[in-house]
A and B are shown apart, each in its own frame.
Chain A
């Protein structure tokens, strides 16, 4: 029984990580560091909650969450690509923007401090929307792999992340492809935020709770390859799966078990390279480097 509980909890915990990490993959294989995943999730979550509450339609809420994610992704992309902002600083600014911005919106729109009103029924065809989204997240793994390695778009995107000068020399619009990568990552991270809202039934401040950063850890763990990144997400999600069991079955205090996902991620990151020595992380060669057409 316990095993089944852990497994279910792990899959649901892995869903937002998978979506965000695959998004981060598309951004970073194109050369744009995406620390902003955390903030994109938060904005996507708020938009999904607000539009669902406003229209009464969770489907419109999902669309709003995805579009908001794409918009925030485009903002981060524009800052990094066209304004040549430092990618890490811009990402952190987006995250701080999302943290204070969503709290401000909660106050202005709903007059509350901590969370939005409850969203009501979140089902489609009699099945909870979270299940649909979990399926989408799992299906996204092969889809992103196919996009990156079997399409012209993927090849060109990777070229922009590895050697933008060469890509430019053969006529590829480096800035355009990079922006497309970041916007796609916004779509996926926004969907991750939607999932969080659909799981909780309302929007709560800081509800992304570091998942964007754990997704980045999965990128490093999986060395920027889709399948390995997905495995990383499942491993890190195990921390949350175990968390509930520790709390409910063994009686570990909740303050302590809440630490599990972060502790597990940190330990895996620290120990994994020692196990597979000599094969250190290989980020895309031009990651974080602005491209100036010369």
Chain B
């Protein structure tokens, strides 16, 4: 119990520190942190619709947070979650419309599976390049992101995949039967959120209670020591990146099945990159990622109201994410966070 408290204390302190620094900045610009905060919270929680939007907004952040956190535990940076989730979202949209005649019970798993497999391709390429050639995964995943952006933009303009209705090109609407709704009616808690929490629990158990999880953490903690006791580094690298790709795919699939009901170009406001902040604030623990995902979802969801009611540009929320990343990254500020840091020093580009 005491240990748990201590583990929770550090991220909470960091989040408070970041919010404190942000308030100071607001004061510096002559704005009242109280009013800005109130507008933000009102935007996130005022009505049942707002609450539902906030909770649904946490889902992609939890998944991208996990997609960054799991490889991070193995000492790897999956900066490719953004590309992976875009590819998955597109694959989900196309699969759902191509096989629209299937019964929803068969179609739903098929959509999720195909989206997952497709997202695992770029993640796997980056993992392979890291383990076989030693190309740092940050470079490979970023290059793959740009390749995916162009590829999906092009595919969406190929007639059989996309429609050019309105401003943004998109795929056709998915069948009604596989659209996700609320898990408990009237609460705003969606099926996808329940699924996300379940996945996080599974990830927590696998990471801390199973042999593959131990091997993954061993390689992240000290690659050489892990190899000397028989952990095969190459397999862990490839495996953890593939898992990262699969986790990122759920973010893209959720956006299609729950939020937009088709793949729309530009649907992700950088979920994959916010995932980095989510993972770091969540101390790279799956259950911590759930809480951090909810925290960032409140900020993002309230940002529109903050913009409208208090006149603070909503892009300012992005700066708070950066602030948190920097605070977590700085060893001297972090102190008790040291445990969570994986061995990333070796062979960096």
A-side residues, CB < 8 A to B, are: 33, 35, 79, 82-90, 92-93, 96-97, 99-101, 103-104, 107-108, 209-210, 213-214, 216-217, 219-220, 253, 255-256, 258-259, 262-263, 265-266, 269-270, 273-274, 280-281, 283, 287-290
Contact = CB atoms under 8 A, between A and B. Distances in A.
Contacts of B333: 83
Interface of B: 77, 79, 129, 133-136, 138-140, 142-147, 150-151, 153-154, 157, 270, 273, 276, 280, 313, 315-316, 318-319, 321-322, 325-326, 328-333, 341, 344-349
B325 A103 contact: no
25 contacts: A33-B348, A84-B332, A85-B326, A85-B331, A86-B331, A88-B138, A88-B348, A93-B322, A93-B326, A97-B319, A101-B322, A104-B318, A213-B142, A213-B143, A216-B349, A219-B349, A220-B349, A256-B150, A266-B147, A273-B133, A273-B134, A274-B133, A287-B348, A288-B348, A289-B345
B266 to A, nearest CB: 12
Given A104-B316, A259-B146, A90 B329 contact: yes
A74 B156 CA distance: 42
Given A89-B325, A281-B134, A79 B349 contact: no
Contact of A84 (B140, B319, B330): B330
B77 to A, nearest CB: 6
Contact of A108 (B280, B313, B344, B347): B313
B77 A88 contact: yes
A255 B344 contact: no
A253 B157 CA distance: 10
A108 B319 CA distance: 14
Contacts of A86: 329, 331, 341, 344
Given A88-B138, A269-B129, 7 more contacts: A83-B330, A83-B331, A92-B325, A213-B142, A217-B139, A262-B143, A269-B135
B133 A269 contact: yes
Contacts of B135: 220, 269-270
Nearest to B276: A92
A279 to B, nearest CB: 12
B345 A97 contact: no
Contact of A213 (B139, B329, B344): B139
Contact of B326 (A90, A103, A266, A283): A90
B348 A96 contact: no
Q: Do most interface residues of chain A lie in helix, strand or loop, or is the interface mixed?
A: helix
Given A96-B318, A100-B315, A85 B330 contact: yes
The list of the 9 closest CB pairs from A to B, nearest first, reads A100-B318, A255-B154, A259-B150, A89-B329, A83-B330, A288-B348, A84-B331, A85-B329, A262-B146
Contacts of A97: 319, 322
A220 B315 contact: no
Given A88-B348, A104-B313, A266-B140, A79 B154 contact: no
Nearest to A113: B315
A35 B345 CA distance: 14
Contacts of A90: 326, 329-330
A88 B142 CA distance: 13
A116 B322 CA distance: 24
A125 to B, nearest CB: 36
Contacts of B151: 256, 259
A86 to B, nearest CB: 5
A35 B136 CA distance: 11
A217 B129 CA distance: 13
A273 to B, nearest CB: 5
Nearest to A260: B150
Contacts of B329: 79, 85-86, 89-90, 93
A93 B345 contact: no
Contacts of A93: 322, 325-326, 329
